[in-house]
Every structure is written in structure tokens, then in C-alpha cells.
Structure 1
Amino acid sequence: MKLLFHYNWQVREEWINWCEQLSQEAFLKERIGGVGSFAKTLHHIIDVEWSWIRRLECKPDPEATLSQETTLLDIRQLHQTYHYDVQLFIERWTPSYEDRIYDDGHPPYDTWGVIMRHIIAHEIHHIGQLSIWARELDLKPVSANVIGRKLS
């Protein structure tokens, strides 16, 4: 599981770097599907990952705001700020966490392990949307390959 978090972080950073070639207008442009734009999608995957980890740790989960003037630098800073907390949690992960029940008072209840896998799948799902938009712009998307990334 840790390997897939490292994969997602590596691919996310590559997408953030990839977006440097976009104009601010293209970065913010509303698109069909997904969350709506490159900016919104990157913001969303960063915020959702951090938010779930905060909830598992029973910490406050304030929502990060996204404005119509959000820049790639804003997204990069959000990633760097939130990544520290998330990485600490992932590196502390032990098998004993796997079957803990997450109970926020609202069914359905699930295990921490299932929630962690949801976080991984959620980002991979949205990265696929970025790839489609890249191809619509006639640009080569970031590779989704796990093989060859030297993650182990």
C-alpha cells in the first residue's frame, strides 16, 4: 500500500510539473468530466487525500479553498503543505491500523485499510481524467506506468 502512495505522489508531482506548459487560461479552463479543470482536479486530489488522513487521525479538517485566480504555484504550495502530514501518517502505518473501524457517526462504517485504498484509487481515477484532457490538447500525458519508477 505504501508503494502506491509513493506512486501517486510521484505521478502527482509530474503532473504539477507538466502543467507548467499550460497557460493560466488553459490551467483554469472548465472541461468536460472530472472535477472540471486541471487546477480543480489537482486541488481536489490533494485536498481529499489530506482530508481523509486528518479524519482518521481525528484532527480538524478545514476545507482548502480554490479561487478563480488559483495558479500552479498555489497548487504546488498546497501539495507541499499537505504532503508533510500525509507522508508522516503513511510512514507510521502498521498492520495494526488495517482493521480499525472508522466511525464518524454516519454509516456505512469501514476499516482504515479500505479507506486508505479508496484514497489511492481516488487519485488514480482523477489522474486518468488529466490524461484525457492532455490528449485533447494534443499533448503527451504523464506516464501512468508503475513499472520503471523505482518505487520499491
Structure 2
Amino acid sequence: MYIGDFSRQLDYLHKLITIIDVQNLTQENVSCLNTTLVFLMFANRKNQLGRYLQALKDEKEGMLEVNGSVQFMTNFRDLLLFWQDHYLHKDKDCSALEKSSRISFDYWKQTVATLVCDDQDNECAIVHYCVRPPCERTI
């Protein structure tokens, strides 16, 4: 019940996303990104991914990263693009994710691909929630 509370989930998602960015992502803290993805994969299975992204944007977009220039949603998208670059080329890491989460790696890939797609009309894509100019890869 504790973690099932939507507001509490949003707070955790926000904290997990804001404590990392592409410049400080390491083997030790990539688990924050993976935990975020687990929450969002469950939301995706319930066809609520758009609801989560909208709520994150509405409640958290005004908070800026430590350097004051990277917006929350753009940072999140950059992290996921990095995730794709990393995990789509490392079979051992993919296998570890699948075994530890019991979620097929294909579903991990599908969820990330949905989140980072460039279709601004797709409510399950992060770019749909980005303030103009559209989220761009800053890596």
C-alpha cells in the first residue's frame, strides 16, 4: 500500500531522476535509472504511462537541476538515451537486468523506446511533455 500510492510514486520517481544526469551516471547510480524504469514499465502495462509523465511534468517540471539549466524532462530523456546506448550493446548487463527484475529485456527496450520516441503527439513519449524548444539530446 505504501509504494502503491500514486503521489508517493511520483515523489520517488522525481528523486530518482533528479539525483543523476548523464555527466554523473556511474555503475553505482545507474540503478536509480533502472528503478525508475521499473515503475514506468508497471505503469505502461496498465496503460498509464502518459498519466505518469503528465504528472511528473505538472508537479516537477519547475524544479531545475543543480546547474540550473537542464529541465527535468530533458534530463530524463537524456538519461534514457544514454541507457539505450549502454544496454543495447551489453549482453551481460541486459541479462542481469532481466534476471534481477524478472521482466523480459524486450519489454525494457520497448518501454524505453516509447519514452524516447520523437513523436510529440504520443502521450507516452517524453517529448510530448517538453516545453518549447522540444527536448533534444544534449549528450
With normalisation by structure 1, the TM-score equals 0.29
Higher RCO (C-alpha under 8 Å, 6+ residues apart):
1
Question: Whose radius of gyration is greater, 1 or 2?
Answer: 1
